């Protein structure tokens, strides 16, 4: 229910690593069953990747709707305590009695005092790339992670902040909430079981050297497209292309950009087909005379999601082309030419479009950031793949999955976790 | 309705003949796009990959596109599945050597290393038989190394001409069979899914003018230059190719010396123009082939693993030039006891290279040349991307 150095006992039943949709689901289920839960989140806000989405497939409803409900359940539940800007640095002990050392990185803003009035950001002279919008806009060095951030508190990016040299924000704050001397500290939490829900990050599109990301301005990724369409995104929800801010009338969605590729991610990322179809509807809805091309190897819409594919493919301005885009070239005026072989007709097609969206896949956070948990076994790609009493995984840390599935996985992990815990 | 008649044995043969990875393909068509040699209409090698998986033998063996491939390997490097289309197309080409060979049982000998003992034995027996003819083998001059004093030059010429005649006849038969086969493919629109049969448009150009064009491109290696990955192959192949031509010219020169100028005992000095030409030829072939072998062994993930046919041809060629240079050096060194035996070994490898030319990878010269002509006639050959350097 609160985020600061927790007062009172640091004994909990269950520790959840990761405050995304899977971790929050696990934490809520366990706490509502009566167990004490700690949620540890690296970022300054909860909600994870879902907070960055504009809409869910297949219902096309806004994810914030569901997140708000989750946050409300957290706020009113005294059994959940969450720590943002927190990282697990050491785990020792055994199932039923783990000691977990957690480093609390300095936020420089007092969570009790900050009212999110924003006076500090007005006077802050330093800018930083806004990672929440995948670098498509800037924030000040003191910033609110996003409009609907939970907790709704400012934070300072200490990699750019000049701190005491500047300190303009300290002056501007009427609530005395900013403390530039704040330092990282480590606390020890006791837990009986641990849920690993560390989630994912988009695969680095710059590694796909044929597809021009980072070279041609109007080649963006699917996660960037979500931010472009989102009302709290860098363009306030207007889909425009980066080079000239023009509405793109033609957009090519490039499927399997890195996924199902031995040279990048050898596995299918599970959600990109549906995400691109969903994003094609954003485009079609917002720009009526637009046209979307979806270049794919296979359309993977399992189970009931097939209906969404059927629905989307009825729009004649959403064109499906069977053939992987293996080359993107720049045309005039910032337009792009995507080259693929349409394997149904046997022709190499060169399609000129105004913007390209790469459907980049999911890479587990654990691929690079290792957790200090010995029992945690990872497969070759960094997904948690293990059976160990007291330690359970949930969400994309286990494998690529959509939101509906990871919520179920979170619930499952909670059920496993509480079996070890003693109420 | 299109009838698909899969030939499962053919698939298995391809797997053995260098296409071991073909079943990994999932038809994403990355290969067709990254290929610098592939035309826009019915590009390769994606369609060849599915034909290989399906065992569509007729389509593949009539498909001249496999010769437009120069195994730059851009496809294999970019392939998301490790299906290595470059190697699969090489396997299909190996099958073409067999399919159109005359007689076919000799072609069969090159489909598997299991037959290598027979392949090695045939030239050995033939050479042995020729040497049994009275007057062919002589007592060599041990003071000055003169190869004609060891084996009668006339015998070599007669044997060589006989072999040459044989090679030309069987090559012409294969040539005709293949030309007819690719001609049939002109009537096919390749794509199975399209469900229609159409005609590939013929350009007006005649056979001879297109042949001239094709030869020009082969001489300039213009297609090889299109490779973006592995562009070393352009230089390496160019070296081997021109080295071989220089060696052929110097051989012709030697014949002119013997019959034009009546020199009976041929042992040219090092400064003789014909000898110089031959030595330059040796150097080119040696460097080119060494480079190819080195690149294939050290970086096979990028250059592609060579098939048995590749190894046979390149090793034989290598041994021909190495024994050749050893003959020359031992002759100049006056080491008669080394020079004469090496001469025999050299003859063996030369004989093997030439007599098997229509069956081994050597025959790529003929099939690729024909496919070039066909591609030019039908307008299938894409424009050259790499600009020729203007003089």
Q: Are residues A60 and A100 in the same domain?
A: yes
| pLDDT confidence band for B139 (50 / 70 / 90) | confident
Q: Are residues A350 and A228 in the same domain?
A: yes
Given this model, what pLDDT does residue B198 score? 46
Q: Are residues A340 and A379 in the same domain?
A: no
Q: Are A193 and A421 in contact (CB under 8 A)?
A: yes
Q: Is residue B320 part of a domain?
A: yes
Given this model, what pLDDT does residue B190 score? 42
pLDDT of A273 over the 70 cut? yes
Residues B335-357, mean pLDDT to the nearest whole number:
94
Last residue within a domain, chosen from A342, A360, A378: A360
Residues A38-61, mean pLDDT to the nearest whole number:
97
Given this model, what pLDDT does residue B377 score? 80
Placement of tokens 């082969």 in the chain: B218
Q: How far is B390 from chain A (nearest CA, A)?
A: 27
Burial of B288 from C-beta contacts in 10 A (0-12 / 13-18 / 19+): buried
The pair of three-digit structure tokens given for residue A6, joined into one six-digit string:
């927790």
- Residues B112 and B105: their CA atoms lie apart, in Å, by 12
Partners of residue A339 on adjacent β-strands: A327, A350
Residues A117-141, mean pLDDT to the nearest whole number:
97
pLDDT of B66 over the 80 cut? yes
Q: Is residue B387 part of a domain?
A: no
Nearest-by-Cβ selection for A343 from B39, B46, B81: B46
| pLDDT confidence band for A1 (50 / 70 / 90) | very low
Residue of B nearest to A325 (CA): B30
Residues A195-219, mean pLDDT to the nearest whole number:
97
Nearest-by-Cβ selection for B33 from A341, A345, A346: A341
| pLDDT confidence band for B302 (50 / 70 / 90) | confident
* Domain, as residue range, for B41: 8-99
Residue of A nearest to B189 (CA): A346
Helix (H, G, I), strand (E, B) or coil at B113: helix
DSSP A59: T
**Domains in chain B, number:** 2
Residue of B nearest to A296 (CA): B28
**Domains in chain A, number:** 3
Burial B106-121 (b: 16+ CB within 10 A, else e): bbebbbeeeeeeebee
Q: Is residue A234 part of a domain?
A: yes
> What pTM, to 2 d.p., does this model score?
0.91
Q: Are residues B91 and B115 in the same domain?
A: no
Residues B237-262, mean pLDDT to the nearest whole number:
90
Placement of tokens 């498909």 in the chain: B63
Which residues does chain B have within 8 Å of residue A263's beta carbon, measured at their own beta carbons?
A: 78, 80
Please state which of the ranges A270-274, B156-160, B310-314 shows the lowest mean pLDDT: B156-160
Q: How far is A127 from chain B (nearest CA, A)?
A: 39
pLDDT of A363 over the 70 cut? yes
Q: Are residues B156 and B230 in the same domain?
A: yes
Last residue within a domain, chosen from B99, B121, B147: B99
| pLDDT confidence band for B204 (50 / 70 / 90) | low
Q: Is residue A383 part of a domain?
A: yes
Q: Are residues B181 and B213 in the same domain?
A: yes
Given this model, what pLDDT does residue A313 score? 96
CB contact under 8 A, B29 and A341: yes
* Domain, as residue range, for A249: 204-360
pLDDT of B207 over the 70 cut? yes
> DSSP characters for A179-193?
-TT---EEEEEEESE
pLDDT of A386 over the 90 cut? no
Residues B327-337, mean pLDDT to the nearest whole number:
91
Interface test mutation site (partner B, options A254, A256, A299, A341, max chain B beta carbons within 10 A): A341
CB contact under 8 A, B194 and A339: no
Q: Are residues A396 and A294 in the same domain?
A: no
- What strands lie across the sheet with A14-17, from one edge to the other? A80-83, A37-40, A14-17, A193-196, A391-393
Which residues does chain A have within 8 Å of residue B39's beta carbon, measured at their own beta carbons?
A: 348
User: For residue B161, how many other CB atoms are within 10 A of its CB?
Assistant: 10
Q: Is residue B391 part of a domain?
A: no
Q: Are residues B85 and B119 in the same domain?
A: no
- Alpha carbon distances (Å) from A80 to A4, A83, A136, A149: 13, 10, 34, 18
Residue of A nearest to B26 (CA): A297
Residue of B nearest to A340 (CA): B33
pLDDT of B390 over the 90 cut? no
Look at phi and psi of residue A263 and say left if phi exceeds 0, alpha if psi is from -120 to 50, else beta: alpha
Q: Are residues A212 and A355 in the same domain?
A: yes
Q: How far apart are the first and last CA of chain B?
A: 55
Q: How far is A301 from chain B (nearest CA, A)?
A: 18
Given this model, what pLDDT does residue B1 score? 54
Taking Cα atoms as reference points, which of B341, B239, B246, B339 lies closest to residue B293? B239
Burial A135-161 (b: 16+ CB within 10 A, else e): ebeebbbbbbbbebbbbbbbbbbbeeb
Which residues does chain A have within 8 Å of residue B26's beta carbon, measured at their own beta carbons?
A: 260, 297-298
Last residue within a domain, chosen from B80, B99, B118: B99
Distance from chain centroid for Cα B274 = 26
CB contact under 8 A, A341 and B81: no
Q: Are residues B31 and B178 in the same domain?
A: no
- Residue-averaged pLDDT of chain A: 95
Q: Are residues A210 and A298 in the same domain?
A: yes
Q: Is residue A68 part of a domain?
A: yes
Q: Is residue B315 part of a domain?
A: yes
- Residues A116 and A119: their CA atoms lie apart, in Å, by 8
Nearest-by-Cβ selection for A346 from B30, B42, B78: B42
Q: Are residues B255 and B338 in the same domain?
A: yes
HSE toward the beta carbon, residue A338, CA cutoff 13 A: 30
Taking Cα atoms as reference points, which of B188, B212, B186, B163 lies closest to residue B347? B163
> DSSP characters for B49-93?
HHHHHHT-HHHHHT-THHHH-----HHHHH-TT---HHHHHHHHH
Residues 342-381 of A with CB under 8 A from B: 343-348, 350
Q: Are residues A353 and A373 in the same domain?
A: no
Please state which of the ranges B132-146, B258-272, B342-356 shows the lowest mean pLDDT: B258-272
> DSSP characters for B115-166?
GHHHHHHHHHHHHHHHHHSTTTB----SSS--GGGTB-HHHHHHHHHHHHHH
- Residues A410 and A65: their CA atoms lie apart, in Å, by 19
Q: How far apart are the first and last CA of chain A?
A: 19
Nearest-by-Cβ selection for A346 from B80, B81, B194: B194
Q: Are residues A327 and A212 in the same domain?
A: yes
- Residues B366 and B176: their CA atoms lie apart, in Å, by 11
Q: Are residues A228 and A354 in the same domain?
A: yes
| pLDDT confidence band for A171 (50 / 70 / 90) | very high
- Alpha carbon distances (Å) from B60 to B50, B94, B190, B372: 10, 12, 10, 16
Residues B123-138, mean pLDDT to the nearest whole number:
91
- Residues B59 and B66: their CA atoms lie apart, in Å, by 11
Coarse DSSP helix, strand, coil percentages of chain B, rounded to the nearest 5 percent = 65, 0, 35
Last residue within a domain, chosen from A325, A360, A395: A360
Q: Are residues B126 and B211 in the same domain?
A: yes
Q: Is residue A140 part of a domain?
A: yes
pLDDT of B389 over the 50 cut? no
A306-327 per-position pLDDT tens digit: 999 999 999 999 999 999 999 9
Last residue within a domain, chosen from B37, B64, B99: B99
Given this model, what pLDDT does residue B300 score? 85
Q: Is residue A112 part of a domain?
A: no
CB contact under 8 A, A347 and B40: yes
Q: Is residue B389 part of a domain?
A: no
Q: Are residues A129 and A239 in the same domain?
A: no
Q: Is residue B383 part of a domain?
A: no
Q: How far is B234 from chain A (nearest CA, A)?
A: 23
Taking Cα atoms as reference points, which of B105, B151, B69, B138 lies closest to residue B351? B151
Share of chain A above pLDDT 90, in %: 94
The pair of three-digit structure tokens given for residue A184, joined into one six-digit string:
């990282």
Q: Are residues B86 and B136 in the same domain?
A: no
B189-198 per-position pLDDT tens digit: 443 333 344 4
- Residue-averaged pLDDT of chain B: 88
Share of chain B above pLDDT 90, in %: 63
Q: Is residue A6 part of a domain?
A: no
Q: Are A224 and A44 in contact (CB under 8 A)?
A: no
pLDDT of B236 over the 80 cut? yes
- Alpha carbon distances (Å) from A210 to A218, B45, B74: 14, 18, 12
Taking Cα atoms as reference points, which of B372, B376, B356, B382 lies closest to residue B178? B372
Nearest-by-Cβ selection for B46 from A210, A264, A341: A341
Q: Are residues A46 and A188 in the same domain?
A: yes
Residues A61-85, mean pLDDT to the nearest whole number:
94
Nearest-by-Cβ selection for A346 from B26, B28, B191: B191
Which residues does chain B have within 8 Å of residue A300's beta carbon, measured at their own beta carbons?
A: none
Q: Are residues B134 and B48 in the same domain?
A: no
Q: Is residue A190 part of a domain?
A: yes
Nearest-by-Cβ selection for A326 from B40, B78, B190: B78
- Asked if A209 has any chain B CB less than 8 Å from its own CB, the reply is no
Q: Is residue A209 part of a domain?
A: yes
Last residue within a domain, chosen from A319, A335, A360: A360
pLDDT of B303 over the 80 cut? yes
- What strands lie across the sheet with A86-94, from one edge to the other? A86-94, A97-104, A185-191
Q: Are residues A123 and A247 in the same domain?
A: no
HSE toward the beta carbon, residue A37, CA cutoff 13 A: 32
Residue of B nearest to A342 (CA): B29
């Amino acid at each position: 229910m609160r985020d600061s150095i927790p007062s009172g006992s640091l004994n909990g039943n269950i520790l959840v690593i990761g405050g995304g949709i899977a971790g929050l689901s696990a934490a809520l289920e366990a706490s509502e069953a009566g167990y004490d839960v700690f949620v540890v989140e690296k970022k300054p806000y909860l909600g994870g990747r879902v907070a960055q989405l504009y809409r869910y497939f297949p219902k096309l409803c806004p994810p914030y709707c569901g997140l708000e409900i989750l946050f409300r359940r957290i706020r009113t539940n005294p059994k959940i305590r969450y720590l943002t800007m927190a990282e697990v640095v050491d785990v020792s002990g055994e199932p039923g009695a783990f000691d977990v050392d957690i480093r609390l990185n300095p936020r420089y803003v007092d969570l009790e005092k900050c009212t999110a009035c924003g006076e500090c950001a007005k006077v802050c002279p330093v800018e930083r790339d806004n990672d929440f919008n995948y670098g498509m806009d800037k924030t000040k060095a003191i910033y609110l992670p996003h409009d609907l951030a939970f907790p709704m508190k400012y934070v300072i990016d200490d990699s750019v902040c000049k701190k005491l040299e500047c300190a303009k924000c300290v002056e501007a704050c009427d609530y005395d909430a900013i403390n530039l001397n704040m330092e990282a500290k480590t606390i020890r939490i006791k837990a009986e079981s641990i849920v690993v829900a560390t989630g994912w990050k988009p695969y680095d599109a710059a590694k796909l050297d044929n597809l021009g990301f980072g070279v041609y301005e109007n080649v963006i990724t699917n996660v960037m497209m979500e931010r472009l369409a989102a009302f709290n995104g860098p363009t306030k929800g207007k889909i425009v292309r980066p080079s000239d801010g023009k509405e793109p009338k033609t957009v090519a969605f490039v499927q399997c950009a890195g996924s199902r590729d031995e040279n990048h991610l050898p596995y299918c990322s599970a959600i990109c087909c549906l995400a691109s179809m969903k994003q094609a509807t954003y485009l079609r809805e917002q720009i009526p005379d637009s046209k979307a091309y979806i270049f794919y190897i296979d359309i993977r819409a399992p189970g009931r999601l097939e209906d969404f594919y059927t629905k989307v493919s009825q729009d004649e301005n959403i064109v499906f082309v069977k053939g992987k885009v293996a080359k993107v070239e720049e045309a005039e005026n910032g337009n792009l030419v995507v080259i693929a072989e349409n394997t149904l007709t046997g022709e190499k097609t060169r399609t000129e479009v105004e913007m390209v969206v790469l459907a980049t896949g999911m890479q587990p956070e654990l691929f690079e950031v290792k957790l200090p948990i010995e029992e945690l076994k990872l497969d070759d790609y960094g997904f948690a793949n293990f059976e160990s009493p007291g330690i359970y995984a949930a969400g994309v840390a286990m494998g690529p999955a959509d939101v509906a599935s990871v919520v179920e996985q979170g619930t499952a992990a909670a059920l496993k976790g509480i079996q070890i815990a003693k109420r | 309705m299109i009838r698909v008649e899969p030939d499962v044995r053919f698939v298995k043969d391809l797997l053995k003949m260098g296409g071991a990875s073909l079943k990994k393909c999932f038809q994403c068509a990355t290969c067709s796009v990254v290929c610098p040699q592939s035309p826009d209409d019915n590009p390769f090698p994606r369609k060849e990959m599915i034909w290989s998986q399906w065992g569509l033998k007729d389509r593949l063996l009539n498909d001249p596109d496999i010769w437009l491939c120069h195994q730059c390997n851009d496809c294999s490097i970019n392939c998301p599945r490790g299906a290595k289309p470059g190697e699969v197309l090489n396997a299909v080409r190996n099958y073409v050597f067999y399919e159109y060979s005359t007689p076919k049982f000799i072609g069969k000998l090159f489909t598997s290393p299991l037959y290598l003992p027979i392949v090695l034995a045939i030239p050995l027996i033939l050479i042995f038989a020729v040497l049994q003819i009275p007057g062919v083998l002589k007592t060599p001059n041990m003071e000055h190394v003169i190869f004609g004093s060891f084996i009668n030059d006339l015998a070599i010429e007669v044997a060589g001409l006989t072999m040459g005649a044989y090679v030309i006849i069987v090559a012409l038969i294969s040539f005709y069979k293949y030309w007819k086969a690719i001609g049939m493919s002109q009537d096919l629109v390749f794509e199975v899914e399209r469900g229609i049969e159409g005609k590939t448009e013929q350009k007006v150009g005649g056979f001879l003018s297109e042949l001239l064009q094709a030869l020009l491109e082969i001489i300039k290696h213009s297609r090889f230059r299109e490779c973006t990955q592995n562009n070393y192959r352009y230089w390496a192949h160019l070296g081997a190719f021109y080295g071989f031509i220089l060696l052929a010219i110097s051989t012709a020169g030697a014949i002119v010396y013997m019959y034009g100028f009546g020199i009976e005992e041929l042992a040219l000095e090092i400064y003789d123009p014909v000898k110089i030409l031959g030595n330059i030829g040796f150097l080119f072939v040696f460097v080119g082939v060494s480079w190819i072998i080195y690149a294939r062994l050290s970086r096979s993930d990028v250059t592609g693993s060579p098939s048995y046919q590749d190894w046979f041809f390149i090793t034989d060629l290598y041994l021909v030039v190495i024994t050749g240079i050893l003959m020359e050096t031992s002759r100049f060194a006056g080491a008669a006891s080394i020079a004469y035996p090496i001469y025999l070994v050299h003859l063996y490898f030369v004989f093997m290279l030439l007599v098997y030319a229509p069956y081994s990878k050597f025959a790529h010269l003929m099939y690729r040349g024909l496919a070039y002509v066909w591609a030019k006639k039908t307008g299938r050959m894409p424009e050259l991307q790499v600009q020729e350097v203007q003089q």
